Amino acid sequence: MDPERQRRLPVLPGAQHLGFRCNGCGDCCRTLRVAVTHHDLRRLSDELGRPAATLVDWLTPHAVDMTDEPGSFAELAGGRRMMVLAQTDGECRLLNADQRCGAYAARPWDCRLYPLALERDQHGTLSRVSRLDQDGCGDEQTLPADLAQLSADDEQRWAELADYQARLSRWNQLARHRRRFHHPLGTTDQLLAFLGFSSEH
C-alpha cells in the first residue's frame, strides 16, 4: 500500500491485527463450518463447474452457534437447517492435499475476511479490528492489509447476507403456510431451486 495512503487511514483499536499473514496450516478449513449465501454458492459453482448441491452441507441449530443470525436458518422438511460449506472426513471439501484452497479465487466472504472482524459503531463507521482465531494461527506478520479494501469487502459481505436472509425469510414464510395447511415442507434441493440453482448446476 502507498505509505501516504496508509497514513491517512484511521488508527483503530486492534489495527495491529491488519498485519496478519496466514501460515498455510489449513486448520481453519478443518475446525470451522463456513456459512454461505446463495451469492457465495453461485461463485463457487461457476468457478468449479460443479452442482451447487455437492458443495454444501445443511447443519441443525444444535450443530452451529448462530444465535446472532437466526435469519440464516431455513425451514425444511427435516427441520431448521443452515447452509454451510461441505466437509469430507472432517475437512472442507475444497481443501487440497497441499493445504491450499481449491477454489481460492471464488472462496466465500467469510473465508476471505477470516480471521479479521471489522466492528462498526451505530453510524456504520469502523471502530475496531478484531481477530477471531483463538490459537495464534498465523502469528507471522507482513505489511498491513488495505483497510479500505477490507472495509469494502466487509460491506459487500453484509449486503449479500442481507439479500440471502431476505430470500430465506420469504421461503420460511411459505413454509409456515405449508405447515398451516398440512402440506409437506420443502427439501434442500427445492430450496436450492428457489435460490436459482438447477439440479445440474
CA distances from 30 to 48, 107, 161, 190 (A): 20, 15, 23, 28
Q: Is 43 left (phi over 0), alpha (psi -120 to 50) or beta?
A: alpha
Count Cβ atoms below 10 Å from residue 110 Cβ, excluding itself: 19
What pLDDT, in 10s, does the model give residues 87-128? 999 999 999 998 899 999 999 999 999 988 889 999 888 888
**d(Cα 194, Cα 94) in Å, to the nearest integer?**
25
**d(Cα 28, Cα 31) in Å, to the nearest integer?**
5
**What integer pLDDT is reported at residue 1 of this predicted model?**
44
Count Cβ atoms below 10 Å from residue 29 Cβ, excluding itself: 20
**pLDDT, greater one: 64 or 41:** 41
Q: Which amino acid is at 97?
A: A
What is the phi/psi pair of residue 191, to 5°? Answer: -65, -45
**What integer pLDDT is reported at residue 172 of this predicted model?**
97
**pLDDT, greater one: 164 or 18:** 164
What pLDDT, in 10s, does the model give residues 64-88? 776 667 899 999 999 999 999 999 9
Q: Is the pLDDT of residue 135 over 70?
A: no
* Domains in the chain: boundaries: 23-130+145-194
N residues, the chain:
201
Mean pLDDT, the chain, rounded, equals 88
What is the phi/psi pair of residue 91, to 5°? Answer: -140, 155
Q: Is the pLDDT of residue 50 over 80?
A: yes
**What integer pLDDT is reported at residue 23 of this predicted model?**
80
Confirm if 121 and 80 have CB atoms less than 8 A apart. Answer: no
